[in-house]
Amino acid sequence: MGKITISTLDKLKAAGEKFVCITAYDATFARLVSAAGAETILVGDSLGMVLQGHDSTIPVTVDDMVYHTECVCRGGPDSLVIADLPFMGHATPEVTMVNAARLMRAGAQMVKIEGGTWLSDTISMLVERGIPVCAHLGLTPQSVNAIGGFRVQGRTPKEAKSILADAVEIQDAGASLLVLECVPAPLATDISEKLDIPVIGIGAGPGTDAQVLVLHDMLGLSSHSARFVQNFMQGNDSIQAALQAFVAAVKSGAYPQEEHTYK
């Protein structure tokens, strides 16, 4: 596959080719995910739920994210490594700068932050200082208490218009990637077509430039699975085969299907 960079992802979007993102939290799985052909690895604050046993991502700390980012990068993946800034890790521009620098020193090649246009100045500040940014809109798990639970976002015309406006402004602020989580498929397709930067979907339908799943979800290890999750261990005899099946399904357009999307 060769070492993946932001330029690689831009070229894939321009060519209309899908790419893949899978979460990983340690060196072993980072090697496996990269070997399976996933262009990007997300060291997600989802570790709070799938590793630490919490019922949300909110308890995850910056120290947790630094530790797991270091573990992933020691695996030497060719995939582009994106690390989450956890809850309150980007509360102010100054706090964001310090925490983003820690993640980059841990080996991340990009940081991911949840939130809308209120982050525009922060994104510009990070990018100006050499820290690439992946934005995250739609269902933002760190805001689960404010939005009333893990709910699909963008179902009303007003909500959809707001998410699109946020996406455009965040791109203009300098973000290199955008994650859209749990939004109706037509909205995600519209945003992906309007933006120049690649859009990664999760529960956002097939029209995005890439798909991401949490490792434990796609391997059928989670006790509760969202509508958009497919268990890729079914029909495969090894973890590596399941990872390869997910990569192949995303690239061919076989995943996600209508059953995985929201109207």
Residue 88 within any structural domain of the chain: yes
Query: What is the Cα Rg of the chain in Å?
Result: 17
The pLDDT value recorded for residue 232 is: 97
Whether residue 248 has pLDDT greater than 60? yes
Give the active site residues: 181
Confidence at 261, pLDDT banded by 50, 70, 90:
confident
Residue 144 within any structural domain of the chain: yes
**Mean per-residue pLDDT over the chain, rounded:** 93
pTM: 0.94
Q: How far is CA 98 from CA 62, 91, 105, 131, in A?
A: 10, 11, 11, 11
Residue 87 within any structural domain of the chain: yes
Residue 1 within any structural domain of the chain: no
The pLDDT value recorded for residue 148 is: 55
Separation of alpha carbons 245 and 243, rounded Å? 5
Higher-confidence residue of 140 and 57: namely: 57
Task: Tally Cβ neighbours within 10 Å of residue 61.
Answer: 14
Residue 127 within any structural domain of the chain: yes
Whether residue 218 has pLDDT greater than 70? yes
The pLDDT value recorded for residue 179 is: 97
The pLDDT value recorded for residue 259 is: 87
The pLDDT value recorded for residue 133 is: 98
For the record, the structure tokens of 100 come out as: 């983003």
Q: Where are the alpha helices (DSSP H) in the chain?
A: 6-14, 27-35, 47-50, 62-74, 93-105, 120-128, 144-147, 157-173, 185-194, 215-218, 239-252
The pLDDT value recorded for residue 225 is: 76
Residue 210 within any structural domain of the chain: yes
The pLDDT value recorded for residue 199 is: 98
Domain with 90 in it? 6-260
The pLDDT value recorded for residue 116 is: 87
Per-residue pLDDT tens digits for 127-144? 999 999 999 999 776 656
105-109, 159-163, 221-225: the lowest-pLDDT one = 221-225
Per-residue pLDDT tens digits for 58-98? 999 999 999 999 999 999 999 999 999 999 999 999 999 99
Total domains in the chain come to 1
> Residue 32 belongs to a domain with what CATH number?
3.20.20.60
CB 164 within 8 A of CB 207: no
Per-residue pLDDT tens digits for 3-21? 999 999 999 999 999 999 9
Task: Pick the closest to residue 201 from 236, 235, 226, 172 (CA basis).
Answer: 226
The pLDDT value recorded for residue 10 is: 98
- Percentage of the chain surpassing pLDDT 90? 84
CB 86 within 8 A of CB 45: yes
Per-residue pLDDT tens digits for 149-192? 556 777 889 999 999 999 999 999 999 999 999 999 999 999 99
